[in-house]
Each structure stands twice: as structure tokens, then as C-alpha cells.
Amino acid sequence: MYPKEIEKYLLKVQKPGRYVGGELGEVIKDKQDVDVRFAFCFPDTYEIGMSHLGIKILYSLFNEKPYIWCERVFAPWIDMEEQMRAHDIPLYALESGDPLTDFDFIGFTLQYELSYTNILNMLSLGGIPVLSKDRHDLNHIVVAGGPCACNPEPITDFIDIFFLGDGEEVDLEVIELYRDYKRAGKSKEEFLRAAAQISGVYVPALYDVTYHDDGTIAAITPMDGAPATIEKRAIMDMDSCYYPDNFVLPNIEIVHDRAVMEIFRGCIRGCRFCQAGFLYRPVREKSVDCIDRECHALCRNTGYDEVSLSSLSSSDYSQVVPMLKRLNAWAKPEKVSLSLPSLRVDGFTDDILDEIKSVRKSGLTFAPEAGSQRLRDAINKNVFEDELINTCRVAFEGGYTTVKLYFMIGLPTETMDDVAAIAELGRKVVDTYYSVENRPKGKSPRVTVSASSFVPKPFTPFQWEPQDTMPMLREKQQHIRQSITTKKITYNYHDSDTSFLEAVFARGDRKLNKAMLLAHQRGMRFDSWGDCFSLQNWLDVFEACGIDPAFYANRRRSFDEILPWDHLDYGVSKEFLKRECERAYASQTSPNCREACMNCGAKKYGGGVCFEKR
Amino acid sequence: MKNVRVFFSKTGAGKYISHLDTNRVMLRAIGKSRLDIWHTEGFHQHAYITFALPLSLGFASDCESMDFRLLDDDVDLDEIPAKLNACLPLSIRVYRCAEAKHKAADIDSAAYDVRIEPMNASDISVKELYDKLNGFLDLSEIIVEKKTKKGKKQVDLKGYILDCSTDFSETVLLKLRLPAGATLNINPSLLIGAFEEYCGIELYADVTRIGIYTKEGESFE
């Protein structure tokens, strides 16, 4: 229930449906009946946050507990923020309409670095002091999880607790500890010290970081009995892992407005640029039985006629065709269409095509990532040109005319020839279309080539690599444009300015907290939105703080440097990442987890693909 | 196959569900309710529903309707409201289901309750606002600019006000009936905008559509 006083202002803003809640499936409890109120905050707009699977899982999981009431909070768009600030309306949760100050926990999900300023802005809109040290009591505990928690150092001044890895268990353990400590009248400090003893919990205030004169880290020292390294949590049995059988159903259109069924966590591939491929190791699958049961219930309960079978690489699900056949046994008669996002070029078979094209036919998207075979080997993409061409032929013969190809520029070891090969590969796909005898009659192909700028990330073999400077990236973007000779290819490239800022924060250290605070004080937010982002504003902030952003983005680290995230353990060892980095320099591929074990370290979790029969 | 019409209200948070989003919410509710309705037969088959008269974003209504074709002739129409309500947000409530009596093209006018108050309470008292409204409605003409597909044109709203009355308590109440339908549709926002200009202060209007009528003056059913 939204606060009554906002009603007057709602018609002055775009998409007022973002701010009123009242959706089917929202959980309403009596606040007198619960011990812990948790505000689940997504630091972006409603349409983006409501599309995120993690919030759906944790929202339902928390609310299954009678003593917790979890509500949703999204970042108001700038027009709504203006109204809220002008009329002293604090940021509120959609279910109760209560301001953030009424909550025990204020939890953020860290999906991308450019959302960090929104976290600070949401706290301040909610009337919560942004700095952890200014929040003294055992309430308003600000917690955060999600992929960017793997290097949360740039925002350690603001967040009390980070959750590393899968949240389904650790979040509840911390909430329960809070309930006990609250009842016992303990202090915030006592609670944080006790929480730090729970596996997967990182309390940044309990670690002291010192630096060398050159700005690199000298030591990361735990205090008050906190563990020297914090290990991520991993759910090993996916079939018994909680999965919601219903979603909050948005009243306004959201980005991904469909049912989502998670089919496995992790990825066997080990593409060297891909952070998710390392953070979520090892691969843990759900069984076909479990997927069939959960997915059918989800479609029945939500009324969605489209379900996305979600994972990092759908065609790597070991039972992909049996699963699709099993699902289609009810999905077809019930007019529910199945979609497989994240299909690999080499996983696109006739069998899969038969099962997914039955209901809906959209364009196909593949991510060769690099134009030349040499560079694809260096990044361990393990996709061959003839596989891509064959796959496109299968798709064209099946009636598709639109193919999107995603590439990255600025990858380690890349040359201008590798960059030109992107355009060349696009041309070969166009040629393939015309070589297909039974191609769709009278239609011309649409091939979209998209180039984004590579951002080196923690816990990947490229974590030591410099990012290309912005002038270099722009030159490469133009080089692709000049290399494209056919009008059948549409060429897009992503703005390199935002990639630069992303690179700064992805591998940043605690010194960046100062810049984050100043950026917030200067009113910066929604950095991932072109309407709001200004690189110049950020460069001004860095200058005012005496920070050189190139130190973080464009500097090559040595293998023996202490990295800001070295006290966090995601299961993959630094030794393994070094070996993979050296193999990249030699343009040498590595086998995937099902072919051979490369001893990354994730076997220590005792399950998943590491123990499958090869 | 039976053509049926469900009648529903849209209030509270439902006011902020746009016409297109209402369509989406209804499609999902029908899917969830498992009502067997006719689907289009093209390449992208989808459940076929139509709405008689779109409602502006921000308006509440007591008299919305949606048509679809039931494939099973034996379904008890009286059970349909409960089935759909279980699958809809609380701000949309279906209260009746019947075979369609009129065609959408029969719609001729719609009645609205408009509750008007100043955006800033200190600007004007309710009584003063009420007096201003009556003065405004007594004007010999109310010229506004109406956007049409062919561009902007000047219209005199005065001639289009089919019925109106005023009252006040905590807010000023304007009861209005205006032309509605596919050929000529006058949105009450036009009149409210003109009144706001006449007052020279920012107003807030809470609009509820309370009735839809045919040329013969019958309630649209």
C-alpha cells in the first residue's frame, strides 16, 4: 500500500505503476506479527528489479518464515525522486508503504558496479545515514549480496555485511542471529562480530587494509576474531534447494515479463573473461523431474504463457533434449512457449531447434566474443568458425532470418587483425544465408554485430590485465565500422565511458569509498543510464579525491600483488587463475569441466560436475 | 462458442495500470484461471480479448468491461467473476459476467465523478474553489485545444457537456457526462485542464468513471 500523500504527485511522473505495489502475489503481513522486517532493495528501476530472479527467490524464501516480512524497494526514477524530495516523502517499501527507517534489514543486490551510487541515493532517500559508522543501533543493518560482492571494497564504508555466494542459507542464518541478538538487547558491534563467524559472511569493518606508497595493498588484517579468509556459500543439492512456485506479478510491463526456471548454477566452460563462469563454480544441476515439477507449478500459478529456462549456458544442461521433451508434454497443449537463453553456438542442434521453435520464433543470438580463432582460443571461448557457420545454416534452413552476434573488444592479446575479423565473421554469416538453398523466400538476412568493451573482473584469469584505454577502444570500434562492407550488417557498439568506470570499480579498493561518497553528495545516480551518466562528473570526483582512475582500470598488476579481494574465497584458487592466464598468453585453450578437471579448486565443495562420471 | 462480457472496477493502485498493461494483466489472469477462451489462429496464437472503451491512466472506474469468447458453452457465467478475481490484483475486481447486450460501437457517452482539490491546500479553500468551479461552468464558452490525429484544433467544451452538477465537502465534486466512444470522445482531463487555467492555481483531480451509456441512454451492458 503506497502512502496516501503520494497520490497527488503520481500523475506528474512517468509510469506511476512503478510506485504503488498492489500486485498479485505480493506478501502482506501484519507488522505486529513479525520479529524482523527486511527491505529488499534493488538499486535500479522497478522494471529492471522485478525482472531479476534472485529477488524473486529470496523474497519468497524469506516470507515463508512467519517471523520475517520481506518487502520490495526499487530506485525511484529521477522524476519521482524530485517529487519525493520536494514533498519530504521518504523512500518506502511497496508492500506496507512504510519508510526504510521502519526496517531491521536494508538489503541490496549488487548486480553491476554502476548501480552503486543508487544504493547511497536510496539510503539517503529513505532517511538512513549512508555511512555504516553513523548507524549506531542494532537496526537498519545494511546488507548486500550478489555477484559484485566478490569485490565489494569500493563500498565497504556503507555496507555492514556482505553475503558471499548463494544466499538461500546464509541470509536466513544472519537474520536468525539478528533476531536472537535483538531479543537479548545486544549491540550492533556484538551482532556484527558474531555474524562474521558465519560462513559466507563478510563484515568489512572487521578488516584493516594498509597500503604501500605506490597505492598497492600491503596487508589485509582481520580483527576481533574475524576469519582471515571468507569463503563463499554454495548450495550443493539443487533439487532440495528452495525455489518459489509463484512470483509477484507486475501490473506494468517489466523487462523480462515471463516465468523463469533456473535449470542449473555455474558453467562448465571457463571462458577466461567471464566472471560468472568462475564465481558460481562448480556446476550444479537440477534434475529433469525437479525442473518439470517446479516449472509446471510456476506456469500454472503465474499464468505466464512463456517460460525462460535460465542458466549461464542452457545447452550445457546434461539432459537438455529430454528436459525440453518432458516440458513440452504439457507446455504445448497449454500453449506455453519455452525459451532457452544463453545458447552456445555449438549447442544449437536440430533436436533443440525442434523443441523450441514449436511455439515462438524470434531472432537468434550468439556470442562468439572474438572475431578470430586465435583470440577465441586465448579467451577459451572454444567455439569454432565452422560451428558458427553450420549453426547459422541450421537456423536459416529452419526459417530464421535474424542473427545477432555479440563480440568484445579490448580483450587481452588482441590485435587490429583480430578486430577486423569481427566484421569478416559477420560477412561470412551473411554469405551463409545466401548459400542456403531453402532459405526463407524473398527475405534478406539481418545480421547484427554488437561490440562491447572488455572489463577485466576479479576471480578471472584476466584479473591482472589492464583495460584498453578509452582512445584505444574507440579506435577499435571505428576499425570494425570501417571493416564492414555490407549493408546487411547492423553494427552497434557500447559506450566505452561506462566500461571504463565499471573497470575502475570492478577491481577497486577501499580508497574508492571516498569517491563514492563525494559522487553521491554531488547528486550522481543511475550511472548505468545514458540519461544520467557523465564521465566528466566522475573524473571531477576522482580529481577532487586525489584518485587516479587509471590505477584501477588501465594498470597491469603483477601476479604477486595483493589484490583487494584476496581475503575472499570463491572456490577458484589464485594458482589456477595464473595458470589459465598463462595459457591465454600462449593462445592455448583449456578443456571444459566435463572433458577434464583443471583443478580450479571448486572440487572442495564436494559435489556438482566435479563428481560426475566422465 | 459464446461471446461474453465481464464488468470490472479499477480502483486504488489499479488507477496506475495503463490500458495496455490492463490488457496484459487480464491475459495473464485468464491464463492462470484456466478459462478456456478462443485464441487467435495466426502464427503467434494468443488469447483474444477486447475492451469497449479505454480508460485513461490515473482514472478509477466502476464500469469497465472486457469481451472474450468462451469455448465451452456449458460454463456457468456466474462463476466467472470469482474465478477471475482469484487471479487478479485486488485493485481490479470483476463483479459481473453476462452475454454481451450492446456493441462497443453503441457507446455514446460516459459519466464521471471528478473530485477536485488544490495541489497546495494553502492556495484556496474548498468553498472558494467550489464557487470558482460554478463560475467557470457558467462561462458562455470554454475553448480548449484538443489534439487529434490531424493536429491540434480549438473546440468549445461547453457544448459537449451533456450533464453536470457540483457539490463540495472535503473536496469539490463535479459530476459530469461527456461524449464517449470511437467517433467522438471528450476526455474530462480537457475540462479539468481548462478549469485549472481559469483558476490560475495547480489542482489535483481524482477522476472515477461511473457509467457508460448508449445513444438510447441505456447503461452499456
Mark residue A587 as left, alpha or beta (left: phi above 0; alpha: psi -120 to 50; beta: remaining).
left
Assess if residue A561 is contained within a domain.
no
What percent of chain B lies above the pLDDT cut of 90?
85
pLDDT at A341: 79
From B85's Cα to the closest Cα of chain A, the distance in A is 10
The gap from C-alpha A509 to its chain's centroid, in whole angstroms, comes to 20
Q: Which residues of B33-44 are buried (b: 16+ CB within 10 A; e: fewer)?
A: bebebeeeeeee
pLDDT for position A494: 87
A545 within domain boundaries = no
pLDDT value at A291 more than 70: yes
Same domain, A261 and A174: no
pLDDT at A345: 75
B95 interfaces chain A, CB cutoff of 8 Å: no
Which positions 46-65 of B are in contact with A (Cβ < 8 Å)? Answer: 46, 57-58
Considering the domain architecture, whether residues A219 and A262 belong to the same structural domain is answered as no
Q: Which range (A500-509, A571-580, B183-192) has the least confidence?
A: B183-192
pLDDT at position A440: 79
Quick one: A188 and A323 in the same domain? no
Interchain contact B20–A (C-beta under 8 A): yes
Return the residue of A nearest to B205 by Cα: A8
Distance CA B186, CA B144 (A): 11
Same domain, residue pair A194 and A258: no
- Domain holding A163, by residue range, is 4-231
Q: Is A305 left (phi over 0), alpha (psi -120 to 50) or beta?
A: alpha
What is the tens place of the pLDDT at every residue in A473-527? 999 999 999 999 899 999 999 888 999 999 999 999 999 999 999 999 999 999 9
Which of B20, B23, B26, B32 should be substituted to probe chain A, the one whose Cβ sees the most A Cβ atoms within 10 Å?
Answer: B32
What is the number of structural domains in chain A?
Answer: 2
- Topology of the domain comprising B106-214: Alpha-Beta Plaits (3.30.70)
A152 and A92 share one domain: yes
- CB-nearest partner of A11 from B17, B58, B91: B58
User: In A, which residues are within 8 Å of B206 by CB distance?
Assistant: 7
Residues A271, A162 share a domain: no
pLDDT of residue A359: 44
Please name the CATH architecture into which domain B2-100 falls: 2-Layer Sandwich (3.30)
- Is residue A196 domain-shared with residue A251, that is, in the same domain? no
Residues A144 and A102 grouped into a single domain: yes
- The DSSP element (H or E) to which A37 belongs, if any, is strand A36-42
Question: Which CATH number do you get for residue A280?
Answer: 3.30.750.210
Residues A277 and A251 in one domain: yes
Together in a domain, A209 and A292: no
Q: What is the CATH number of the domain that holds A150?
A: 3.40.50.280
A189 and A262 inside one domain: no
Choose, out of A11, A254, A336, the residue to mutate when testing the contact with B (most B CBs < 10 Å): A11
Inside any domain, residue A214: yes
Tens-place pLDDT, residues A304-361 = 989 999 999 988 999 999 999 999 999 988 888 898 877 777 777 777 877 776 544 5
> Has residue A290 been placed in a domain?
yes
Read off the C-alpha cell for B109. Answer: 457517452
Q: Name the percent of chain A lying above pLDDT 90.
A: 87
Closest CB to A303: pick one of B31, B43, B119. B31
pLDDT at position A361 is 56
Residue A396 has pLDDT above 90, yes or no: no
Residues of A in contact with B17 (CB under 8 A): 17, 251-252
DSSP state of A228: S
Whether residue B176 lies within 8 A of chain A, CB to CB, comes out as: no
Domain B2-100 identical in fold to domain B106-214: yes
Best mutation target, A20, A24, A255, A400, to test chain B (most B CBs within 10 A): A24
> Quick one: pLDDT at residue B41?
85
Residue A146 lies in a domain: yes
Kindly list the domain boundaries of chain B, sorted by start residue: 2-100, 106-214
Q: What is the mean pLDDT of residues B109-127?
A: 95
* Closest CA in chain A for residue B189: A11
CA distance B65 to chain A (A): 18
- Cα distance between residue A334 and residue A215, in whole Å: 61
Chain B residues within an 8 Å CB radius of A7: 206
The CA-atom distances, in angstroms, between A26 and each of A45, A125, A248 are 18, 23, 5
Predicted complex ipTM: 0.92
* Residue A365 CB partners (closer than 8 Å, separation 6+): A343, A403, A404, A405, A406
pLDDT value of residue A598: 96
- pLDDT value of position B147: 80
Identity of the residue in A8, A16, A257 whose CB atom sits nearest the CB atom of B16: A16
Q: Does B71 touch chain A (CB under 8 A)?
A: no
Domain end (from A206, A231, A256): A231
The tens digit of pLDDT for each residue in A127-136 reads 999 999 999 9
Nearest-neighbour CA in chain A from B206: distance (Å): 9
Average pLDDT, chain A: 95
- Same-domain check for residues A39 and A182: yes
| Chain B interface includes A245 (CB < 8 A) | no
* pLDDT(B42) > 80: no
**Is B120 in CB contact (< 8 Å) with chain A?**
no
Asked if residue A395 is part of any domain, the answer here is: no
pLDDT tens digits, one per residue of B123-152: 999 999 999 999 999 999 999 988 877 788
Q: If you average pLDDT over residues A266-285, what whole number do you get?
A: 97
Q: What is the pLDDT of residue A141?
A: 98
Of A251, A300, A304, the CB nearest to B25: A251
